[in-house]
Amino acid sequence: MARIEKVELRMVDLVPKVKRTDAIQSFVSQETPIVTITDSDGATGTGYSYTIGTGGSSVMRLLADHLAPRIIGDDADMIEAIWHKLEFATHATTIGAITAIALAAIDTALWDLRAKKQKLPLWKLAGGARDKVPLYTTEGGWLHIEPEALVDDALQAKANGFRGSKVKIGKSHGAEDFARLSAVRKAVGDGYEIMTDCNQGFAVDEAIRRAERLRELDLAWIEEPLPADDIDGHIRLNRSTSTPIAVGESLYSIRHFREYMQKGGCSIVQVDVGRIGGITPWLKVAHAAEAFDMPVCPHFLMELHVSLVCAIQNGKYVEYIPQLDDLTGKRMEIVDGCALAPSDPGIGIDWDWDAVKRMSVPEFTREITKGEG
């Protein structure tokens, strides 16, 4: 039995590769907590999570002061037990983003460690449903981008074999959203998917109105149309439209997902490993979605989600938003618009440790061993 002997904490602040705007905000920074766990056999596993520019310092303090010290001496293979121990230790701050982001980095590191010691890639260890998954792209569809550029990006993505493009919506008038999406649909034809994302920008009546206006464009889905905690509004909207409603980016508990699925508040599950608290709860949500015949199309973190989507039967798409290029050596492999499941043992991320250390924020770099905390 190998016990956890050391936890190393770092945070890298990454600048997005393109300007990112949506209905409620601009995404100008990705704070990236990185956790490396070493066990008594000398084996290591690394996990990470993210913010979109705020809260990173709070995540790092939570990790350093409360979570990492609690797992020193634990059996590294008792992942389920460790996850629940840490959740209970922070029960006064759950359920919510800060705790979930911190839990995700530790949990993912433990799965990476387990997969490496068993000499298996994560996607096989966690299920092994397929060895590749279709991609859709988001990077060319942000809200500030003009229609001509939206069209050009979608046509290029289609030529590259991608299955769809996401276009942000939430302009001041529905006619603007309709015009932008209509231009893309006319250019790409009927065989190419168009996803839309509202980023929680509407109230329910406006969402119903816009969904009806957009119905003729045969959208793949409408994502986060309402505030994430408005389950009754989502139920009402989902019943009013034939366009699939997607949620999950801003849900932080398996029970939140259960309510949405059970009560008919969504038809596509976008569970995010960095927001749900790690791989352990991610798999539970994904398997629950299969019981409801719902596809899983996770939000962001493509370099990690490719392995998880390949692990499950109901994984449908991975969202193409490259963000770890500056921190990795070997990149996610793409062939004919599909991401290939990584073949190396672990979570499938080839960290460039020289780059990680060089870009780490010094004040959040910490090594925790026995007797600390």
Q: Is 119 a catalytic residue?
A: no
pLDDT at res. 94: 83
Task: Give the pLDDT band (50/70/90) at residue 168.
Answer: very high
Report the alpha-carbon distance of residue 353 to residue 301 in Å, rounded. Answer: 19
The DSSP element (H or E) to which 204 belongs, if any, is: helix 204-214
pLDDT at res. 372: 58
Q: Which two tokens stand for residue 360?
A: 């780490």
For the entire predicted model, the pTM comes to 0.96
Q: Which two tokens stand for residue 247?
A: 């949620």
Q: Is pLDDT above 70 for 337?
A: yes
What is the distance between the terminal CA atoms of the chain, rounded to a whole angstrom? 23
Q: Which two tokens stand for residue 263?
A: 């009560």
Q: Is pLDDT above 80 for 25?
A: no
Q: Which of 117, 234, 299, 305 is catalytic?
A: 299
pLDDT at res. 373: 46
Q: Is 168 a catalytic residue?
A: yes
Q: Is pLDDT above 60 for 233?
A: yes
Mean pLDDT throughout 175-193? 97
Work out the angle between the directed axes of helices 79-89 and 279-291 (0-180°, nearest 10): 100
**Residue 210: which of 180, 247, 251 has the closest Cα?**
180
pLDDT at res. 22: 80
Q: Are 273 and 304 in contact (CB under 8 A)?
A: yes
H helix count then E strand count, the chain? 14, 15
Report the alpha-carbon distance of residue 197 to residue 22 in Å, rounded. Answer: 8
Buried b (16+ CB within 10 A) or exposed e, 177-208: bbebbebbbebbeeebbbbbbbbbbbebeebb
Q: Which of 124, 168, 305, 316 is catalytic?
A: 168
Mean pLDDT throughout 221-234? 97
Mean pLDDT throughout 269-276? 98
pLDDT at res. 238: 98
